[in-house]
């Protein structure tokens, strides 16, 4: 059975909008935040001057409204581990209900040579533990 | 030839991130902002208490970095006009280069009956003028 | 000795800016987030349709840069408890260093009568426990 | 009579909150955005790698709610021009009503020597044209 990363957060008042729920634009922010442990596998120091990933694509499906005042659980796994790229799959749950799910394509990148870089060795083995099946 | 909506904006300093470019999380915000003329076709008053649209899905493809200090042009059209839903197609250009493109699925919704609502009549005719071919 | 509210958070990548540190515009967002337990004293349900507070003023003093990758501790107390208003005093600490401090003036407000409302009884007693001395 | 900088913007849907108005946390973002012409006097290229200013303090007074669907005018001037620092004074107007006003203290800073740097010569003369009286 795969491992996943879990992060619990409380919606911020400033993340709601005039429709009385959490703004749709907030989900990409939460999902990026919840990918931090993935970033840490690539860059344990989280040093922003040595960042080896490019975001190529993101999508989010909204399945239920999210409200202020109740915690949200973000689950993060990998839905694909390619030669030099990976797809992160994430779900946001509130009140035991799936409220949003999203996928993000990240490319392992060497800024010096300006080329995609294979994901190999121990890093690949660690990432492989988090491969999940996307819904 | 179709009509499109165009909006020019200047990236805000707070929209950049530590990688020195505009944060990926900013694009859904800009795209929502640039959909305002679409909202106005549904609700000319932009009254938030009478909002007839639900966002069901969004995706963004990132094709070039966007930087602070140069204007960005957002082009907005419709890539699909269904019975009670529509797909908005948007592009963000900077320095005459396509930097990001995205699609958003919106559902025409009646909050009183809690059901999707057909897009008909003059509203449909107006929207139909903005149908474009997505890249 | 007074009680204070404490909240620990991890800066989000999207909260940094091109100067490589956390954007100055992020602090009012964090401070609002960290005032949630104060809101809960006024509205235990956190029901946004029954919100009894208006924000009249905020200030933030920035004393050190805040960086991505290290936790931030927000301390929240009250620097003034007036008849119908209060001043919240907050500090943000990273690496055992005071990085920012801010004050927010909130007015207890009755939206029905459109008037400021005294802070009395058990609510006042609870709030009084959090009075601190501002730096 | 002084010159001022003026910027007109449309509130974004994502900048509203569940109280149905523009979030208080949005004002520091708008004010930073509207200070861009001040930044340009210091760094005409707006090159983020050569940024000569540090923000030391900000405050905002909220005098009326701001709503989605109507333009906001931001007026920007200088309320103080010190030896090596300046105070920017800004107002946000909607429907011909003053909705918020704020002051920001910026320090002219040399990152190489890590010291505050005098504001002199042509730069000082240009800035002096924008000195206004704060309300």
ipTM for the complex? 0.95
d(CA D97, CA C49) in angstroms, rounded, equals 26
Could you give the 3-state DSSP secondary structure of residue A34? helix
In the predicted model, what is the mean pLDDT of residues A104-125?
A: 93
Question: How many residues in chain D?
Answer: 135
pLDDT of residue C1: 56
d(CA B62, CA B55) in angstroms, rounded, equals 21
Which has the minimum average pLDDT: B22-36, B42-56, B65-79, D23-37?
B42-56
Q: Per the CB < 8 Å rule, is B56 touching A59?
A: no
> Residue A98 — pLDDT band, cuts 50, 70, 90?
very high
pLDDT of residue B26: 98
Task: Name the CA dihedral angle for B95, B27, C99, D134, rounded to a multiple of 10 degrees.
Answer: 70
Please give the residue of chain A at the shortest CA–CA distance from C29.
A14
Task: Give the number of domains in chain D.
Answer: 1
Residue-wise pLDDT tens digits, C90-113: 999 999 999 999 999 999 998 778
Gap between the terminal Cα atoms of chain D? 16
Cβ-contact A104, A58 below 8 angstroms = yes
In the predicted model, what is the mean pLDDT of residues B72-77?
A: 98
Cβ-contact D59, D102 below 8 angstroms = yes
The residue among B42, B44, B67, B64 whose CA lies nearest residue B53 is B42
Q: Which residues contact A105 (CB under 8 A, 6 or more apart)?
A: A55, A56, A57, A58, A85, A86, A87
Neighbours of C46 (CB within 10 A): 18
Which other chains touch chain D, taking contact as 3+ CB pairs less than 8 Å apart?
A, B, C
Q: Is the pLDDT of residue B8 over 80?
A: yes
Residue B109: which domain range? 5-128
> Residue D27 — pLDDT band, cuts 50, 70, 90?
very high
Cβ-contact B128, B79 below 8 angstroms = no
d(CA A114, CA A40) in angstroms, rounded, equals 21
Asked whether residue C135 is assigned to any structural domain, the reply reads no
A109 forms beta bridges with A116
Q: Which residues contact B79 (CB under 8 A, 6 or more apart)?
A: B87, B88, B89, B103, B131, B132, B133, B134
Strands C85-94 and C72-81 come out as antiparallel
pLDDT of residue C131: 96
In the predicted model, what is the mean pLDDT of residues C45-63?
A: 93
Residue-wise pLDDT tens digits, A24-58: 999 999 999 999 999 999 999 989 888 899 999 99
Q: Per the CB < 8 Å rule, is A21 touching D17?
A: no
Q: What's chain B's average pLDDT?
A: 95
Cβ-contact A55, B24 below 8 angstroms = yes
CA distance C3 to chain A (A): 22
d(CA C26, CA C35) in angstroms, rounded, equals 14
CA distances A43 to A85, A122, C34, C54, D36, Å, are 15, 13, 29, 43, 34
Q: Is the pLDDT of residue A1 over 70?
A: no
pLDDT of residue C125: 97
Q: Does D121 touch chain B (CB under 8 A)?
A: no
Global model pTM greater than 0.90:
yes
Q: Per the CB < 8 Å rule, is A32 touching C49?
A: no
Q: What residue has token string 């930073």?
A: D32
Q: Does C128 touch chain D (CB under 8 A)?
A: no
Q: Is the pLDDT of residue D2 over 60?
A: yes
pLDDT of residue A56: 97
Please give the residue of chain C at the shortest CA–CA distance from A18.
C48
pLDDT of residue B110: 87
Sign of CA dihedral C64, C66, C69, C73: positive
Nearest to C18 among B16, B24, B26 (CB): B16
Cβ-contact C84, C133 below 8 angstroms = no
In the predicted model, what is the mean pLDDT of residues D97-115?
A: 93
pLDDT of residue B1: 56
Q: Give the mutation candidate from A18, A30, A45, A58 for the B interface (greatest B CB count, under 10 A).
A: A58
Asked whether residue A71 is assigned to any structural domain, the reply reads yes
Neighbours of B110 (CB within 10 A): 12
Q: What's chain C's average pLDDT?
A: 95
B62 forms beta bridges with B100
Cβ-contact D58, D102 below 8 angstroms = yes
* Token duo for residue D123: 């730069």
In the predicted model, what is the mean pLDDT of residues C119-130?
A: 97
pLDDT of residue B69: 95
**pLDDT > 90: percent of chain B:** 88
Asked whether residue B133 is assigned to any structural domain, the reply reads no
How many Cβ contacts (< 8 angstroms) between chains A and D?
30
Q: Give the mutation candidate from B13, B14, B29 for the C interface (greatest C CB count, under 10 A).
A: B14
pLDDT of residue D70: 96
pLDDT of residue C107: 97
Asked whether residue A102 is assigned to any structural domain, the reply reads yes
d(CA A35, CA A26) in angstroms, rounded, equals 14
> Residue D87 — pLDDT band, cuts 50, 70, 90?
very high
Which has the minimum average pLDDT: A30-39, B34-43, C45-54, D14-23?
C45-54
Domain at C105, CATH number: 3.10.129.10
CA Rg value for chain D: 16
Asked whether residue D133 is assigned to any structural domain, the reply reads no
pLDDT of residue D25: 98
Please calculate the CA angle A64-A89-A2 and round it to the nearest 5 degrees: 115
């Amino acid at each position: 059975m795969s491992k996943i990363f879990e992060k619990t957060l409380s919606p911020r008042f400033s993340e709601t909008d005039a429709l009385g729920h959490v703004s749709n634009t907030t989900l990409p922010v939460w999902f990026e935040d919840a990918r931090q442990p993935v970033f840490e596998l690539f860059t344990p120091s989280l040093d922003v001057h040595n960042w080896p990933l490019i975001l190529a694509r993101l999508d989010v499906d909204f399945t239920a409204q999210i409200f202020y005042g109740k915690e949200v659980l973000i689950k993060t796994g990998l839905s694909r581990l390619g030669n030099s790229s990976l797809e992160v799959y994430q779900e946001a749950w509130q009140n035991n209900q799936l409220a949003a799910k999203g996928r993000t394509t990240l490319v392992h990148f060497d800024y010096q040579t300006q080329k995609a870089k294979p994901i190999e060795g121990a890093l690949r083995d660690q990432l492989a533990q988090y491969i999940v099946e996307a819904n």
